[in-house]
Structure formats: C-alpha cells, structure tokens
Amino acid sequence: MIRHTQHLGAGLLDDDEVLLDVPDERLGPALVAAALGDHGPAAKLLAATREGAEWENRDRYTTRLATFAHHREGWLGDWLAASPRDPDALLVKAELSVRRAWESPARAERLRDVGPLIEAAAEAAPRDPVPWRIALDHARGTHAAHSAFEELWAEAVGRSSHHYGCHVSALQYLSAQWYGSHRECFDFAEQAAEDALPGSLVQALPVRAAFAHLLSREGAGAADTVIAPERVDAAADLAIALSAEYAAGDPWPAEVRNLLAYVLITRGRWADALEQFRLIGPYATSFPWAYLSDDVLGQFLELRDTARIQVASAMPLRPLRRTARRVGSDGHYA
C-alpha cells in the first residue's frame, strides 16, 4: 500500500493548494468591492447576467452575494437605498431574507413575511427564473401544498426549462425529507436528466437524489427496499459521464464533482471517487461536506486521502526486483 500510495497521488494537489468555495474571476472582484462597502461591481455583474439571460450564473452569483451580505450587509443596504427598485438588488435581498428566515426558530412565520420580497423581485425582472427558484425554496419552508408547488414550478420552467437551480429546489421539495418520497425524488430527477441538454448540470439531478437517499433518516434499512443500490450506481455513472465532459480543474462543475465523490465513497467505489478528486483540482465546495463535519475543508482532505489509501490497499503487491547473483567456489552467493 505504501508503494502504491505515492503513485496514486499523481494529479492530486497538495493540501494547502485546495481552496474552499472559491469565487470565479467575475464574482471575486464584486465580493472584494462589497467588502470595502462598494456595491457597484456587484450591481454591474448581476445586471450583465440579467441582460445576457445568463440565468445559471445569475443564480450562483445571487446566492454567493446573499451569503456575503448575511455577514456584512452594509453594502447591500446602500445599494437598495440608491436604487430601491433595482431588480438585481431586490433579488439579492429576497435571497438573503429567505435564508435568514430559514435559520429562524419561527421559520414558517418568518418565511411568510418575506413573500412580498420575492414577488417584488419577480415583478422587477419578469423573464428571470431565479426569483421563482427562491419561491420554490420559500414554498418548501412554508409547507406549501403540492398544487401550490406545481404552480410555482410551471412559472419557473416557463422562463427557463432547463434551469439547474430551479430543478434542485424542486428536487428538495419532492424528497422524502420534505413532502415527497425517495421514489418520487428519483423519478423526477431521472426524467429531468433524460430531457436535459448535452453537458447540462441537470444531468446530475439523479446523483443529488441519491445523496438525499443516502442521508435519509431511514438509513440503509427500509430506504433500500425502495431504492435499489443499482439505481444509485446508475445515478453515479451518469454524473461520471457528465463530469468527463468538463476539463479537470474547471470550477463550473466543481460542486457536482464534490457531491459525486461523496456518493461514490458511500458506495465503496474508491477508484472512481479518487478520479473525481483529481478532476476537482483546487475547488472544494461546502456542499456536501458540510453535512458531515463542521471542518468542511478538513473533511474533504481527509476523505481524499482515504480514497487514495483505499485504492492503494486494493492493488496487487509487485514483487521486489532482485539482482542476479552468482554462487562462489565456497558455496556462498557472491
């Protein structure tokens, strides 16, 4: 195992080279400016995504900006004071308000209070599907009925039929943890993946369904009578194929690759998991490792090392090379 471990480290960055939740080259400057109290770059960034219909980027950037505002909100307040009807500022405010409500002990009540903020964001940018993704998250927290969920889902896909964020929110609503079941969750994910565009992250929905299944409170007992292990492996195989369509170290599929590595580990597919760790490169993400430990980056690095050791331990031992020796006249080896 010791012999093989060093060889299997090829393509894996050193621990101190791996970073957690790194923003891309467009978001990074906006976050730096926000830290200095300047909302201008964030406003320009989100305006560009709205005008260019970059809905996937818009969703990601909105989420990250809201996360930043959760801890340092002054720049967002200045933005809203300067442009109270700015659709981009309203979107970040809606995302931030929903997140804070989710963390409140009075979640359902707080979420109902922020409903008008989501409506304002949706009205300010009628083509934008991201407010409807936020609305789907909101519906899950307010115990909305399936009929209400279906109405919101229709609004979301009517604006962007393959929007990954909206699909993830719908998948969470349909999970066994909330208002659906493992079977319903998998059925939705597999159908969406089948209908997805080539290279779309929507093809990773089944592996997200597998993750929800593996983390289920039902554990590996009763849940496995509903979802066969082969179905989980098929979801992982589909995500492996999707991952292969992107270059190693590409930040765009990083979260999917992190999730896939976790699912592969739970299935004991160590070699496949190790390959995903290689493809991840420096881009560790909080999801899914935050579900396992408060030390998110430490958990990522620990399981990456575990995958390498597991693969090494399963490899056959190569015999030591021996140098040919001749027998001397005294009968001893020379």
218 CB burial (10 A radius; 0-12, 13-18, 19+)? middle
Spatial CB neighbours of 114, under 8 Å, sequence gap ≥ 6: 94, 97, 98, 101, 138
Looking at residue 6, what is its pLDDT?
52
Looking at residue 217, what is its pLDDT?
45
Write out the two tokens for 167: 């699909």
Q: Which residues of 288-322 are buried (b: 16+ CB within 10 A; e: fewer)?
A: bbeeeeeebbebbbebbeebbbbbbeeeeeeeeee
Which H/E stretch holds residue 208?
helix 205-214
Write out the two tokens for 266: 């739970």
- Taking the chain (334 residues) in consecutive chunks of 10 residues, what is each chunk's mean pLDDT? 52 92 96 98 98 98 97 96 97 97 91 95 98 97 94 97 97 93 95 96 97 72 66 97 97 97 97 97 97 96 94 70 49 48
Write out the two tokens for 66: 């809201």
Return the sign of the alpha-carbon dihedral for residues 69, 26, 133, 215.
negative
In angstroms, the Cα distances linking 45 to 175, 192, 248, 301, 325 are 33, 29, 26, 32, 72
**Rounded Cα gap, residues 135 and 200, in angstroms:** 22
In angstroms, the Cα distances linking 49 to 43, 58, 169, 180 are 10, 5, 20, 33
Token look-up 């396992």 returns 292
Looking at residue 313, what is its pLDDT?
84
Write out the two tokens for 110: 């707080």
**Rounded Cα gap, residues 263 and 209, in angstroms:** 10
Q: What is the DSSP letter of 225?
A: G
Looking at residue 318, what is its pLDDT?
61
Looking at residue 108, what is its pLDDT?
87
61 CB burial (10 A radius; 0-12, 13-18, 19+)? buried
Token look-up 């260019």 returns 52
Token look-up 């005008």 returns 51
Which H/E stretch holds residue 238?
helix 229-243
Token look-up 């304002």 returns 120
Residue length, the chain?
Answer: 334
**Rounded Cα gap, residues 211 and 194, in angstroms:** 19
Rg of the Cα trace of the chain?
Answer: 24
| Alpha helices (runs of H) in 9-51, residue ranges in sequence order | 27-35, 40-51
**Rounded Cα gap, residues 209 and 144, in angstroms:** 21
Looking at residue 227, what is its pLDDT?
86
Spatial CB neighbours of 92, under 8 Å, sequence gap ≥ 6: 42, 46, 62, 65, 66, 69, 76, 79
